[in-house]
Structure 1
Amino acid sequence: MLLEEWMRRHDGVAHTSQVYAAGFSKRTVAAAVQSGRMLRVRRSWLVLRDCHPDRAAAARAGGRLTCVSAARSLELWVPVHEHVHVAVSPTSARFDAHGLRVHWSNGPAPFAPRAAVDPLINVLFHVARCQPQPDALAIWESALNKGLIGAEALRRVAWRSERAAALAALACHLSDSGLETHFVDLMRAIGVTPRQQVWIDGHPVDTLIGDRLVVQLDGFAFHSDAAARRRDIAADVRLRLLGYTVLRFDYQQVLFDPEFVRDSVLTAIAQGLHLSA
């Protein structure tokens, strides 16, 4: 296998000790660097010239890609962010931190000494400490929804962070579970008590207010395909034909426009849509 091919299998970044351990010689490394196909940074890190800029930035800092930057590399939902988030040891040597958001603490999971990217547990740990709770929750639930980790595993981690522990208690294997919690808290604050996961006509609905007002909540990963969208449309039609009013809110609305959600529910209740005919 060619060194360049091996590097691509490692996402374009590797420590020279890893390269030598894989059987490549110093002469091979020197030739690759001289050809311009890869760069040597911080003396002992090799980076393919066309590797992802975030990974290259982490290597130049001698750290690991983490937080929202690592979450993005895992194809999780992340908010728009300008800086590359890098985890480094508290005793790390000096480096140029321009364009970086540096995380000086280590997460609860062990990692390889020459790792280029934090393990998922540590990524979520830094997300919890760095991001606003709504954004952090969305990232955590995105990881759960993709099946990268289970809710029970999250709850059993010794997080050493109150914010991370609180997110672990909130998140679950359903992509919209945290969303339901936010919605129920929002309703209780205005004196409305929804019932969760009520079965109607052999199917569960997210929340039921009174006898006839159904509120369905679309988690972050909702409608990931056309089939899921059609199922939701069919469910809403079935409920309406049974005499229910259906309100559907998404993640963005519940977390970032709660006034709209609150006012919509209050208007529906004022119109008596929660009452039996």
Structure 2
Amino acid sequence: MSEYLRRHDGVVTLAQARAAGLSKHSVSRHVRSGRWRRCSEGVYFADDRPFTDAARVRAAVWSYGDRAAASGLAAAWWHGLTGFAPPVVEVTVPRDSNGRVHDGSVVRRRDLADPDVDEVRGLRVTAAPLTVLEAAVKRRDGAKLFDAALQRDFHLRELWQVHLRNKGRHGSPAARRLLRAAGDGARSEGERLLVGILQRAGLSGWQANYPLSGYVIDIAFVAAKVAIEVDGFAFHSDHEAFQNDRLRQNVISVAGWQILRFTWLDLTEYPERVLATIRAAIRA
């Protein structure tokens, strides 16, 4: 049992303790003696160690039964996609589950497909691709999380498949926008964001899709000769696209224009900084 507790952050369920050979009476004796702390009905923590974030997440998920899974930001932290455990643990349970919600957790009732559930370090969690989509739309800087995932081992096609398999879930429209921005619609989606930033700031004197030296500039401040190019997500560039962009940039520079480049991430996470840079350039 001590090795089991070590591997599971000090958390154990009554069923697991019984399977390891402890009687219900033995479990009660551990609780009465103070060696084990009762976290919820049938879930205990061996109180001879720190109650870590991992123990807190595990205890929260196990308190909803063996069909529950960590999801959202709790799953993202468990997968190592984020650096900090959320204060409230999101737990996904089947639609036919019942019972009260425990303190420190929030419950989502839905039926997950088998490919969308994984077991990581002995805990059921939403599989990494679904976790990326769901966690990214829950954070203000979610585009960073999404961008970082795509620079790791996650593939856009796989994320689209997961999204379509889970249509209608909470946050689905926002996830679709992220997927579109990361795919073939990256530049157009980014251009729309930039146009919105310029319009809300009341900046004028710019033209979209301005032709210059055989190329089309995304946004051009013609009088100031400032060309703004939108690159989509930071990761979204293969070798050929990189070379073409450098050639395009050189041609525009030779024509006497100053070039500003912003990624989709810049436009979503740092719009004020983008705006300040543009204002400085057109004043120069």
Specify the TM-score bucket, using the shorter chain as the normaliser.
0.5 to 0.7
Of the three residues 119, 131, 136, the one matched with 2:138 is 131
Read off the aligned partner of 1:153 and give its amino acid letter. Answer: E
Instruction: Deviation per CA, 1:95-121: give whole Å up to 9, x if none.
Output: 343332322224444537994433224
User: TM-score normalised to the size of structure 1?
Assistant: 0.57
1:258 aligns with 2:271: yes
1:169 aligns with 2:172: no
In 2, distance between residues paired with 1:137 and 1:30?
46
Instruction: Deviation per CA, 1:181-205: give whole Å up to 9, x if none.
Output: 664323344544499xxxxxxxxxx
Unaligned runs of 5+ in 1: 196-206, 222-234, 272-277
C-alpha RMSD over aligned residues? 4.8
How far the C-alpha of 1:153 sits from its partner, in A, is: 1.0
The equivalent of 1:156 in structure 2 is 161
Preserved CA contact (<8 Å) 1:179 1:254: no
In 2, distance between residues paired with 1:215 and 1:87?
41
In 1, distance between residues paired with 2:85 and 2:17?
34
In 1, distance between residues paired with 2:234 and 2:5?
34
Instruction: Deviation per CA, 1:54-79: give whole Å up to 9, x if none.
Output: 33233334443210122123332479
Of the three residues 146, 151, 155, the one matched with 1:145 is 151
In 1, distance between residues paired with 2:278 and 2:129?
37
In 1, distance between residues paired with 2:280 and 2:194?
13
Instruction: Deviation per CA, 1:193-241: give whole Å up to 9, x if none.
Output: 499xxxxxxxxxxx986687576979799xxxxxxxxxxxxx9xxx9xx
Read off the aligned partner of 1:185 and give its amino acid letter. Answer: R
CA separation of 1:184 and 1:79: change in aligned 2, threshold 3 A: farther
In 1, distance between residues paired with 2:111 and 2:192?
33
CA separation of 1:84 and 1:213: change in aligned 2, threshold 3 A: same
The equivalent of 2:80 in structure 1 is 75
The equivalent of 1:54 in structure 2 is 57
Query: Radius of gyration: which is bigger?
Result: 2
What is the total number of aligned residue pairs between the two structures?
231
1:4 aligns with 2:2: yes
The equivalent of 2:204 in structure 1 is none
Preserved CA contact (<8 Å) 2:135 2:142: yes
Preserved CA contact (<8 Å) 2:191 2:218: no
Read off the aligned partner of 2:4 and give its amino acid letter. Answer: W
The equivalent of 2:117 in structure 1 is 111
**What secondary structure sits across from 2:60 in the alignment?**
helix
In 2, distance between residues paired with 1:30 and 1:76?
36
In 2, distance between residues paired with 1:80 and 1:178?
33
Instruction: Deviation per CA, 1:239-264: give whole Å up to 9, x if none.
Output: 9xx88856576887532442441353
In 2, distance between residues paired with 1:105 and 1:78?
27
Unaligned runs of 5+ in 2: 199-206, 212-216, 236-245
